[in-house]
Amino acid sequence: MRLIAGSLAFAFAVLIGCAQAQDPQSPDTAHLQRAARLADQLRCLVCQNQSIADSGADLAVDLRREIKVQMGQGRSDREILDFMVQRYGDFVLYDPPVKTTTLILWFGPLLLLIAGGFVAFRSLQQRRNREAPQSLSKEDARLAAELLGPGTRGRSR
């Protein structure tokens, strides 16, 4: 509930800021759009499945504030993103670069899917082998008939 309330508050603040601007290309509107674009590129480290623009977590609020502070200092988008990566690592980016430290982010889900498929295949294969009826060879049938006694010779399959 708190997450939704925080997201709505941020959305209303952006809408109110946009509604107050007379010119759609005014510095305030452009400033808000740029901050929103940057916030969409960064992952909330608390929620992990939301951008900081969508998250109401305290850390996301702090990161949005940090974006605005750095924009006020005249930093470029690249400089702001680099700052966030330096502070929080590549995982903070929604689209992290492919390198040795992020391979698990890129290929982990695929590896889990392959491993799950392999386990399911082996499990089904073992179940099928357990349930398949085993037929006796002629030698095994003769031996079983001998062990069971003289009255069972005609009953073998």
* CA angle, residues 38, 29, 77, in degrees to nearest 5: 25
pLDDT of 82:
93
pLDDT of 46:
87
pLDDT of 114:
96
- Report the C-alpha gap between 115 and 110 in whole angstroms: 9
- Cβ neighbours of 116 (radius 10 Å): 10
- Report the C-alpha gap between 61 and 136 in whole angstroms: 72
- pLDDT tens string, the chain, 157 residues long: the values are 444 544 544 544 444 444 443 444 456 888 889 999 999 999 888 887 888 998 889 999 999 999 999 999 999 999 999 999 999 988 888 887 888 877 887 888 899 999 999 999 999 988 887 765 677 788 888 888 888 877 655 554 5
Residue at 25: amino acid letter: Q
Q: Do residues 102 and 93 touch, judged by C-beta distance below 8 A?
A: no
Residue at 125: amino acid letter: Q
Structure tokens, 59: 């850390």
What CA–CA distances, in Å, run from 126 to 20, 53, 113, 131? 67, 48, 20, 9
- Tell me which architecture the domain covering 2-97 has in CATH: Orthogonal Bundle (1.10)
Q: State the pTM of this model.
A: 0.52
Domain ranges (residues) in the chain: 2-97, 101-155
pLDDT of 69:
93
Closest CA to 108 of 83, 91, 131, 88: 91
